[in-house]
Amino acid sequence: MTALLIRDIRPMGGAPADILIEGGRIARIAPAINAPGVAVEDGGGAIAVPGLVEAHTHLDKTLMGMGWYANAVGADLGAMIDNERAERRRLNHDPHRQSMRHALALAGNGTTHIRSHVDVDTEAGLAAIEGVLQTREALRGIVEIEIVAFPQSGLMIRPGTADLLDRAMSLGADLVGGLDPCGIDRDPKGHLDTIFDIAERHGRGIDIHLHEAGELGAFSMELILDRTRALGMKGQVAISHAFCLGMPDWPRTEALLAALAEQDVAVLTTGAPSREVPSVRRVLDAGLRMGAGCDGVLDTWNPWNRPDMLDRARILAQKNNFRSDADVALALHVCSTGGAEVMGVADHRLEEGRPADLALLPGTTLAEAVATGGPVFLTLKGGQVTGRNGHPVMEAP
């Protein structure tokens, strides 16, 4: 792997410096580095941060490039699930092509790591898993993709789904997913026993969608904690959304946060504007790992989300009533290093010796970059330029 010198960037918005990359890693960060013969990129005074991390999305769902999807479904969860299954067929949705478009758009916008839930159900079988596995291979070295086998249409209520999840893990999915054990599956014990069993057999972690609010979500969370403890899965479980942690009963959520911290259960958030959500400050103060994601992008669910973690940092910060520059920088941290920690990428920092996974952001400060938004000036993955001015270097199908 060749060396690269990036001139005139400002690490984390600080004083100007250069970054020398060798062997895919950050070799040096210093002003006016002298490196004769090394290829040079002009950073143009941009802010350098660790690559952005999309830690909760659905690469297999997007309709990007397929024309505007007129949504007539509204906001009922069951109806949205059924609608999506039907529309996948009607639109002849290709999960490989679509996940390529989505993942590359993210790379163009500064993203170096993605955790994607991917649907598994008794109608489409493993087609989505196969498509995204193919994308993961095609984009190796461009963006790192973790795949969560996700029973979007329910598990206990759709016999045969557990076998499909099991096969998805054998095919190469990284984590076992789950979904509202009470709200959707109506059988929390059955649901959780099943996914923990599959995870244990494959020696893999879990990332479960938990939209359940208030006490219902807290109950499901307790059942998740019970199993995490019993199976010795400390540090291997993440809960996505975790809306119940946003309920106003602070003593209750304080105790839940302490229990999650004790089992090193991570929390992933989208900062959902219409819901009660976990407070970034409280989750981090409790010592939990926390990442963020844009959720599905331009799909049958809603038209709001963009493949853009700077946009997500803005949404997350607004939801958390972050106003000061320091607080805004914290939101950006969750959208980068925080998400990497959830994905088990421990060294995702702008430091010498770390992998050269970087995003160069426009703006004078981190807060301005988040408030103003992209385009991201440059994305680098392992020292290779993967995005320029908001566009991926590799062309999407």
Q: Provide the binding-site residues for a second copy, judged by CB under 8 A.
A: 67-68, 70-75, 80, 271, 273-275, 298, 301-304, 314-315, 317-328, 363-365, 367-368, 370-371
Nearest Cα neighbor of 225 from 187, 267, 273 is: 267
Smallest separation (angstroms) from a second copy to the CB of 3: 33
Distance from C-alpha of 224 to C-alpha of 81, rounded to nearest angstrom: 23
Name the DSSP letter for residue 338.
I
Closest to a second copy by CB, 122 vs 318, is 318
Smallest separation (angstroms) from a second copy to the CB of 267: 18
Yes or no: say if 193 and 233 are a contact pair by the CB < 8 Å rule.
Answer: no
Closest to a second copy by CB, 71 vs 134, is 71
Smallest separation (angstroms) from a second copy to the CB of 277: 10
Yes or no: say if 35 and 347 are a contact pair by the CB < 8 Å rule.
Answer: no
Nearest Cα neighbor of 145 from 187, 179, 95 is: 95
Closest to a second copy by CB, 195 vs 367, is 367
DSSP string, 163-187: HHHHHHHHHT-SEEEEE-TTTTTS-
Task: Name residues whose C-beta falls within 8 Å of residue 159's C-beta, 6 or more positions apart in sequence.
Answer: 122
Closest to a second copy by CB, 184 vs 225, is 184
Any idea of the CA torsion for 279, 220, 55, 375, to the nearest 10 degrees? -50
Smallest separation (angstroms) from a second copy to the CB of 325: 5
CA-CA distances (angstroms) from residue 170 to 79, 133, 162?
31, 12, 13
Edge-to-edge order in the sheet of strand 52-57? 52-57, 111-119, 144-150, 175-179, 205-209, 237-240, 266-269, 290-292
- How far does CA 18 lie from the centroid of its chain? 29
CA-CA distances (angstroms) from residue 46 to 2, 7, 43, 82, 83?
23, 10, 6, 45, 43
Closest to a second copy by CB, 136 vs 319, is 319
Closest to a second copy by CB, 162 vs 242, is 242
Nearest Cα neighbor of 309 from 64, 60, 50 is: 50
Closest to a second copy by CB, 58 vs 314, is 314
Closest to a second copy by CB, 371 vs 393, is 371
Distance from C-alpha of 315 to C-alpha of 275, rounded to nearest angstrom: 13
Smallest separation (angstroms) from a second copy to the CB of 27: 31
Distance from C-alpha of 295 to C-alpha of 277, rounded to nearest angstrom: 14
Smallest separation (angstroms) from a second copy to the CB of 378: 21
Smallest separation (angstroms) from a second copy to the CB of 309: 16
Nearest Cα neighbor of 118 from 160, 157, 71, 150 is: 150
Closest to a second copy by CB, 166 vs 311, is 311
Nearest Cα neighbor of 120 from 77, 90, 158 is: 158
Smallest separation (angstroms) from a second copy to the CB of 364: 5
Smallest separation (angstroms) from a second copy to the CB of 307: 13
Smallest separation (angstroms) from a second copy to the CB of 303: 4
Amino acid at 307: P
Closest to a second copy by CB, 140 vs 323, is 323
Cis peptide before 375 (omega within 30 of 0): yes
